Structure 1
Amino acid sequence: MKIKQLCVLTLATTLWGCSKQILNSNITQQLQTKAIEFKMPKIQEPIIPNNTVNITDFGAINGGFELNTQAFADAIETVSKKGGGKVIIPPGIWLTGPIILKSNIELHAQAGALIKFSSDKSLYPIIETSFEGLNTWRCISPIYGKNLENVAFTGKGIWDGSGEAWRLVKKEKLTASQWKKFIESGGVLNDKKDVWYPSEQYRIGNQNADQNVRHDLKTKEEFEAIHDFLRPVLVSIQNSKRVLFDGPVFQNSPAWCLHPFLVEDLIIRNTTVRNPWFSQNGDGLDVESCKNVLIENSSFDVGDDAICVKSGKDKDGRDRGVPCENIIIRNNVVYHGHGGVTVGSEMSGGIKNLHVSNCTFIGTDVGLRFKSTRGRGGIVENIFISDIWMIDIPSQAISFDLYYGGKSIAETLAEGGNTISTAMVPVNEETPQFKDISIKNIYINGAQQAVFLQGLPEMNLKNIEISGLTAKADKGFSIIDANGLKLNNINLDIKNSTVLDIYNSKNISIKNTDFNSASTKAINIKGESCKNIELISTEKTNLSQRTFIDKTVQENAVKM
């Protein structure tokens, strides 16, 4: 009898395990096939002809001691003359200079392959290009292609940009042994001895730079004089169609890692992107002015923003006038980074139709980051974000900042916090706009602040809906210059006694919102521009007993 009962129990346990696996599988499948909220065209994958060569067929030498630039060029040229095909990079260490891409080419780095780009800067001539959203001169990228069709990067190999030879490094970001190693490698220090530059030429180039760009220089000859300073992105693909990244690791870039620019039909999946956490401008992926984009099942661990959506900066971006549109970002993990998914600050050409879902941020400085400033212009609209999990966020889990000044939020907080201003300026083509944004099913387990929303007095954040948010954080919500904000099904466990700070905002609806603070100032409302703010209590939380209305607020602006 006992044996029979044991068999029945074992069978039941097995069936429950199978059911649980099926349930979990169904949940995962539902998340991965989540409906897209806008009309999304089918993204076309590259079509690569069935021709194959191996770089060793062209004299490539393994080991990382011999330069294989010509072998890569010859392999690409050979398959290109046949109409295209696959170039195989076998296991080994392959040292090379810049690789110039052609249409109908697949670079397949097999598992065990390490493509190491030379640190000899003379191999990288300067070219006219776009960097930081501006038209400028820069060293050619280690992997570069323009006006192409059908390009693919596949395999499990590693592409390494030798970024340590290009970047400045701040002493405060290194251990003592790391700092010693940089000093012993050569280079020069600043006067305070707390910043290391790869060369004197780099130090000179950096002196008058604004976010890594020299606006005062105009001619190629002037830029050539600071050649070492003009560090490139690792992968630059411009004005192209049908581009695929599937499988490889891209790491240690001189600047941004992957920069698809003006690309239509772009797929990035099963890809690992990593830069040292201390790397200056070590972005993971910057998708700029691209159309029809899928980013999924990938991981990022970088020194700046991880997954970035951009469309040019200031007048250069507005003159180009090409938005980033029809973008799906799903099923990704971000470890270190200034932002998990970031929109801006270069958004002067506009950004529209963006879907972000099922992403996990582990210790990123910020989770969801939206940033711009006066002078940019551009419209960010039709944004849909859902099912995001965040843990141990050192600053703001969700951040909208229309006063972005080029620094990380951690740096901004260290200097006293975000700018709050009542000064209005005229609305014109330089005024940025963020509107029609849905954020739902967000889980925040640890953050300095759950949500920071700040528009401009002359152009408020407009029509933002946040629902199904659960957060444990030191601070709750800051809502500044917002119009049409809806908060619904919000659960907050906040250390500060004030949970929601509302300033100069209007048409605000807060319902089904519970929090742990019993303070009479748990909700703090101030500012003469406040209007039509509706607070609806729950059975658990009587908002009328926990709301402070400042004398600056007009009578009847708040409805309980």
Structure 2
Amino acid sequence: MKVSTVDIKIWGIGWVLGMGHLIPQPIIKQPTFKKDTINILKNGAVADGLTLNTKSIQKSIDDCSLQGGGVVNIPTGLWLTGPIKLKSNVNLHLEANAVLLFTKDFNQYSLVQGNWEGIPAWRNQSPISGTDLQNIAITGCGIIDGNGDAWRMIKKDKLTDAEWKEKVKNGGVLSADGKTWYPSEKSIKGSQTKHPGKIESGKTAKDYEDIKDYLRPNLLVLTNCNNVLLEDFTIENSPAWTTHTLMTNNLIVRNITVKNPWNAQNSDGIDVESCKNVLIENSRFDVGDDGICIKSGRDEEGRKRGVPTENVIVRNNIVYHAHGGFVIGSEMSGGAKNIWVSDCSFIGTDIGLRFKTTRGRGGIVENIHIKNITMTNIQFDAILFDMYYMAKDPKDGQGDPTIQTYPVTDATPQFKNFDIENVVVNGAKRGIFMRGLPEMNIKNIQMKNMTIQASSGIECTEAQNISISNLTLLTSNTDTIIWIDNSSHISFNNLKYPANTKNLFSLTGPKTKAIIVSNTEKTNTNELIKFGSGVPKDAITFSK
């Protein structure tokens, strides 16, 4: 059991040079706790998998906090419980082979005012929650199981025939077309309700009772807390997001394992929303949605809150199945800045590095520093910047959205000032995809020292000041390696690509200009450049 105090100076020094200027590093203080320990057995807990231990566990937490804090010990065994609330100065410690299993009895979960995808909303009470707390921890090598299979709807085509038959046999309700399973009539009604759970003036929890089962809880939610340690445990089978930290500062997440079924809807691994001074390290994520995700609120509500996620270190993590390995967005309306990601592996994720937003979000994402990333078997894009997330997601294969130019307002999102280096990708559908807005291009992206093996190469539209150097791009499809549309001031230095390529560059769009290619072999391709209508011949130049 680790309860020592350390000051963590991330990145090795007190200041970091990023995008040409010095950025102060976060210093994160690990919480400490009194040695006093309360074992939940003292308050009558029974590890038979049948007894509901909510009162015993909660009393242990409450007593520990009232006595000035310490450790609440969950010993080896299977402990069935309803939702519990953490308290200040308490370390909830799960011994090895301790399983904290949350009941599938929905009546144990009250409707409470919370937050869902960046907007205030009524939700079922989270299995583990804490609000306005100081100096808290969950530690130990035990397991937290949210029993999420009981809450989540699921489509027939995401199960085997045997799994589907078993699901239907055990209860629940089917959609009218018989292709989706829901846990109850309340759940299916919620799926048909516009803005389900959204907090509205004059409405109370009773007004949402008829769709209660649809309002799935996030498994672990910490709101407005300070000095938090999450270490060593496994957290799995979440009803919705697995770990959600909201407006929480000085957060250390170390050596945890997050597991959800690949088909678990909305089962993000960790969502860090409007938080400051965060370290996520040496952890493993295998989930049904995004793996490690940075957020800061959605649309007008997020801009009104106006709290960015900043000073974040993500290092030495592995993400297995997930929609994205490391993700920013799409709810990033309060902004995100000063984030360092290093020495991470993404194995079999849909997308590797995923940065997504859309019109209406607003918010500025800037000063993002990424290095030493390994990816294998990426299903879609290895690196993706997409500012049309809600219109079309490229992995859906639905084509491009209609392009229009809108006025720039506070609802216009921005992606700028990223540097990405030392990336190796062994297998992806596409290497790099960048899609900005005509009124707000993606800007100031530096990528260097990358080797990417993918089916196709690079697509870049509505981007400015993009620098790519020392890139080896090995594509199985050599029809067009790099497509650039309505983008300017794009440079490639020391670009390597397959021999006998049919076409190296395809340039389209009237705004495409100032493409500079240096130290790159020009004779390995049958057609060096394809010019679209209206693109001048001097839009691209080659130099040694």
Conservation of the 8 A alpha-carbon contact between 1:494 and 1:517: no
1:434 aligns with 415
Tell whether 2:461 aligns with 1:480: yes
Q: Distance in 2 between matches of 1:200 and 1:48?
A: 45
Structure 1 position 421, deviation (Å): 4.1
Structure 1 position 80, deviation (Å): 1.0
Normalising to structure 1: TM-score of the pair?
0.91
* Matched residue type, 1:137: W
Tell whether 2:82 aligns with 1:97: yes
Q: Distance in 1 between matches of 2:402 and 2:233?
A: 46
1:471 aligns with 452
* Of 401-410 and 235-244, the range deviating more from structure 2: 401-410
| C-alpha spacing 1:551/1:508, structure 2 compared with 1 (3 Å) | same
Structure 1 position 209, deviation (Å): 4.4
Structure 1 position 176, deviation (Å): 1.1
1:305 aligns with 290
Conservation of the 8 A alpha-carbon contact between 1:208 and 1:214: no
1:273 aligns with 258
| C-alpha spacing 1:133/1:322, structure 2 compared with 1 (3 Å) | same
| C-alpha spacing 1:544/1:194, structure 2 compared with 1 (3 Å) | closer
* Count of residues paired in the alignment: 525
| C-alpha spacing 1:213/1:443, structure 2 compared with 1 (3 Å) | farther
1:216-295 to 2 correspondences below 5 Å: 219-220=203-204, 221-295=206-280
Q: Distance in 1 between matches of 2:537 and 2:427?
A: 37
Q: Which runs of 5+ in 1 are unaligned?
A: 1-30
Per-residue deviation, residues 159-214 of structure 1 (Å, max 9, x unmatched): 0001011100111111111111110110011111110000011000111346x765
| C-alpha spacing 1:406/1:103, structure 2 compared with 1 (3 Å) | farther
Per-residue deviation, residues 205-234 of structure 1 (Å, max 9, x unmatched): 111346x76588972232222111111100
Per-residue deviation, residues 105-127 of structure 1 (Å, max 9, x unmatched): 10000001000001111111111
Q: Distance in 1 between matches of 2:99 and 2:26?
A: 35
* Matched residue type, 1:113: A
Conservation of the 8 A alpha-carbon contact between 2:286 and 2:322: yes
Per-residue deviation, residues 264-286 of structure 1 (Å, max 9, x unmatched): 00000110001111100010000
Q: Which runs of 5+ in 2 are unaligned?
A: 1-9, 18-22
SS of residue paired to 1:556: helix
1:502 aligns with 484
Tell whether 2:508 aligns with 1:511: no
1:120-519 to 2 correspondences below 5 Å: 120-209=105-194, 219-220=203-204, 221-405=206-390, 409-410=394-395, 412-413=396-397, 416-417=398-399, 419-497=400-478, 498-519=480-501
* Of 128-137 and 302-311, the range deviating more from structure 2: 128-137
SS of residue paired to 1:283: coil
* Of 542-551 and 453-462, the range deviating more from structure 2: 542-551
SS of residue paired to 1:319: helix
Conservation of the 8 A alpha-carbon contact between 1:475 and 1:499: yes
Q: Distance in 2 between matches of 1:133 and 1:218?
A: 21
* Matched residue type, 2:506: N
Q: Distance in 1 between matches of 2:177 and 2:107?
A: 29
* Of 43-52 and 539-548, the range deviating more from structure 2: 539-548
Aligned with residue 511 of structure 2, among 529, 534, 538: 529
Per-residue deviation, residues 321-342 of structure 1 (Å, max 9, x unmatched): 0000000000000110000000
Q: Distance in 1 between matches of 2:291 and 2:434?
A: 21
Structure 1 position 32, deviation (Å): 8.2
Percent identity over the alignment? 46
Q: Distance in 2 between matches of 1:527 and 1:407?
A: 20
Structure 1 position 136, deviation (Å): 1.1
| C-alpha spacing 1:444/1:74, structure 2 compared with 1 (3 Å) | same
Structure with the bigger percentage of strand: 2
Q: Which 4+ runs in 1 deviate beyond 4 A?
A: 31-37, 212-218, 406-409, 539-545
SS of residue paired to 2:303: helix
Q: Distance in 2 between matches of 1:519 and 1:44?
A: 53
Over alpha carbons, which structure has the higher Rg? 1
Q: Distance in 2 between matches of 1:378 and 1:302?
A: 27
Q: Distance in 2 between matches of 1:501 and 1:509?
A: 13
Aligned with residue 73 of structure 2, among 68, 83, 88: 88
Structure 1 position 40, deviation (Å): 1.1
